[in-house]
Amino acid sequence: MRIDVLTLFPEILEGPLKASLLGKARDAGILEVALTNIRDHTTDKHRTVDDTPYGGGAGMVMKCEPLFAAVESLRSKNSLERVILMSPRGKPLTQAKLRELAQAPDLVLICARYEGVDERVSQALVTEEISIGDYVLSGGELPALVLIEGLSRMLPGVIGDWESVETDSFFKGVLGYPQYTRPPVFRGMDVPETLMSGHHAAIGRWRRKEALRATRLRRPELLAGLSREDEELLAEIAREAPVPEEEIEP
C-alpha cells in the first residue's frame, strides 16, 4: 500500500515513520509512505502557500494552487480515488474506517495548517475529511500519523500475530479485555485464577465478559447488535455488580 502525505513540515513525520512497526513495515515493502513538501509546488520566489481570508478575520488560509499542483503531481503513482484532508470538521476516525481504508491501494493525506485550506480544495480535490477528535491542533501532521499508525495494523504482515489485532479495542465492536503477566501476585493484587487455569474455553468466556464489562461502564453506546451469548453475559454482569446510572459515561 502507498500513502502520500502532503505537508509543510515533513520533518514532523520523518522520525515516527522510521520507528517501531511502521519502520519495519516500510523496510519490508508492506507499506510505502512518501512525504511531499507543499512548498515545492509553489511558483513564486517566496514559496507562498497561504494568504489572508476573503471577508477578513484572523489568521491565514492555505491557497488552492500549491495544493492542487501537489496532488496532481502524484497522478502517475496514485489512483487519486482517496484524497483525505485531515480536518477537525471531518468525520471521526474509527476502527471501521481504518479497516476500510486498508483495502485501498493508495491514499493521499493533506495536512492543513493555519486557519485551514481554501474551500475549493475540499469541493474539487478532497474526497473526504477525517478528524481524530473534537479538538484542534496546529496542523494535520499528527492526525495523519495517527491514521497511518492505525491503518498499518490492518495490513497483513505488519503485526506478527494477527490475534493481537483481533483482540484490540474496537476491532470486534467493544473495548479490549484486561491483560495480565508475571508475577501472579503483586503488592497483594492477584491475577484472576481463570487466566492461569489453562482452560481455553473458560479463558475465552472470561475475556469476552470482561471486555463487555469495561464497555458497559466506559462506552455503553457501543453495546448494540450483540449476540445472544453477549446479552447473557451482560445480564450476568448486571446481576454481579449493578452500575449506578450516574457512573455510566454518556
Catalytic residues: 88, 115, 153, 168
Please check whether residue 172 is in contact with residue 166, taking contact to mean a CB–CB distance below 8 angstroms.
yes
Q: For the residues of 91-155, what is the DSSP string, one character each?
A: EEP-HHHHHHHTTSSEEEEEE-BTT-B-HHHHHHT-SEEEESSSS--SBSHHHHHHHHHHHHTTS
CA distances from 167 to 171, 172, 211, 227, 237 (A): 7, 8, 10, 17, 20
Residue 155 neighbours by CB under 8 Å, 6+ apart = 1, 25, 30, 31, 102
Q: Are strands 83-92 and 106-111 parallel, antiparallel or unpaired?
A: parallel
Amino acid making up residue 92: P
Helices and strands in the chain: count of H runs, count of E runs: 9, 9
Q: Is the dihedral of CA 23, 25, 27, 29 positive or negative?
A: negative
